[in-house]
Structure formats: structure tokens, C-alpha cells
Amino acid sequence: MTEPPKTRRAEYAEATRSAIVAAARELYARQGYFATTVEEIAKQARVAPATVYAVGGGKQGLLRTLADLWSQAPIVAETLERQSRMTDPEEILRYTAGVVRSMRQDYGDIMRVVLATAPHNPAADEALRLGTDRYRDAVATVAAHLSQAGGLHPDMTVQQATDILWFFFGYAGFSTLVEDNGWTFERAEYWLVRQALIALRTAL
């Protein structure tokens, strides 16, 4: 059954919301959450400040929206579904690393903003907690699949594998190698996969 066409009003409302979210994302990434004002978001999105509150929920509402944007990205579900059909542990890990890299490139700006803001703002802290829970749940699914595929040391539990995968593919892996050390994403991805394979097959 096809959906009825959107009304002009609905299209305008959607475009307005998208403009506000995009403005918040750009400003938060460029100058930080706390240094950004609602008035600046409104100016960037070409709307009234009241519209930012009504449509986006103000600064905090927009931060939660941005956190949801990366933590609920469709690529996560698509990855887990496709990965469920793989049987080779190295292929599973390579595919996982490729998706993590892609998300870093697409949503790294949002992750950095939420991580930097969370220690000083309850709303950001809650957004980070929810995002991290979703992230770790996906990592745990990968760990369970690797266990079924024979990719873990015989004495390693799925929880231990989840912790190891989080070390390599959580927030710090690509961030440290690419942002701090100046590696290319390609080099970082290759190294993380090789080291994770070794770690997962080593007794703790």
C-alpha cells in the first residue's frame, strides 16, 4: 500500500526541522554546544528562535536528536542483518570495522559533541548513555556471532569478547588513531582488524 502524498504544509514542516537540525549540528561541531545559542541556530536555519524551541526542542532537544541520528542510523540494523549470514570470523570483523569506519566518517562530529558535553550537562549525559547502550548492544551481537562462528578463544566468553571489541571499535579506536595520531581511516581500519583478531583468539 502506497503512502498518500505529503501536503505542502507537511513538506515545509519537514524541511524546517531538517534545516534546524543541520544548523545545530554544524554550529555544535564548529564552536561547541555551550558556546552555541538558540539565536545562532535560528539565524543559520533562517527561522525564528521560537521555531527552534517549537520544532527542535531547543538546544537540548536538538542534541538528543543528533545523538539519535547516529545511534539509530539504519546502517546498524542493515549491518547486523547482513552479518548474520556470514560464517568466516575474519570476514565478520572486516565488515564490522568497515561499518564502524563509515559511521565515524559520517557521524564523528556528533559523537565528539555529545562526548564533550555529557560530563557537564544532564541531557547530554542521558543522550550519551542511550547512544552507548545501543552501540554496545550492537557490539555484543557481533561478539555473539563471532563466538558461533568459532572466532574466539575456546575459554573466552561473549561478554569478554564484547569488551575487547569495544576497546577496538568503541569510541576510542578510530578516534585515537585518526584524530590524535594522524593515521588515515584505511590504515586505522586495517590495524584495528588485525589486532582485534589476535586479541579475540588469545586466552585472557
Q: Are residues 83 and 52 in the same domain?
A: no
Q: Are residues 167 and 189 in the same domain?
A: yes
Q: Is residue 122 part of a domain?
A: yes
Q: Are residues 15 and 86 in the same domain?
A: no
Q: Is residue 2 part of a domain?
A: no
Q: Are residues 46 and 74 in the same domain?
A: no
Q: Are residues 99 and 74 in the same domain?
A: yes
Q: Is residue 87 part of a domain?
A: yes
Residue 137 belongs to a domain with what CATH number?
A: 1.10.357
Neighbours of 58 (CB within 10 A): 16
Q: Are residues 106 and 196 in the same domain?
A: yes
| Reported confidence tier of residue 55, pLDDT bands at 50, 70, 90 | very high
The amino acid at residue 203 is A
Residue 20 belongs to a domain with what CATH number?
A: 1.10.10.60
> Count of domains in the chain?
2
* Burial of 99 per CB tally in 10 Å (0-12, 13-18, 19+): buried
Whether the predicted pLDDT of 2 surpasses 80: no
Q: Which residue has the cell 569478554?
A: 160
Full residue range of the structural domain in which residue 12 is found: 8-56
Q: Which grid coordinates are listed for 32?
A: 561547541
Residue 76: what pLDDT? 79
pLDDT in tens, 7-37: 877 788 899 999 999 999 999 999 999 999 9
| Reported confidence tier of residue 137, pLDDT bands at 50, 70, 90 | very high
Q: What is the distance between the alpha carbons of residues 55 and 124, in angstroms, rounded to a whole number? A: 19
Alpha-carbon separation of residue 18 from 44, 48, 107, 113, 143 (angstroms):
12, 15, 16, 19, 35
Q: Is residue 133 part of a domain?
A: yes
Q: Is residue 1 part of a domain?
A: no
Q: Is residue 3 part of a domain?
A: no
Q: What is the distance between the alpha carbons of residues 197 and 114, in angstroms, rounded to a whole number? A: 30
Q: Are residues 81 and 127 in the same domain?
A: yes
Q: Which grid coordinates are listed for 112?
A: 565528539
Q: Which grid coordinates are listed for 38?
A: 538558540
What's the rounded mean pLDDT across residues 145-154?
Answer: 95
Q: Are residues 45 and 144 in the same domain?
A: no
Whether the predicted pLDDT of 83 surpasses 90: no
Q: Are residues 52 and 115 in the same domain?
A: no
Q: Is residue 62 part of a domain?
A: no
Q: pTM of the prediction?
A: 0.86
Q: Are residues 75 and 39 in the same domain?
A: no
Q: Are residues 107 and 129 in the same domain?
A: yes
CA Rg value for the chain = 20
Q: Are residues 106 and 129 in the same domain?
A: yes
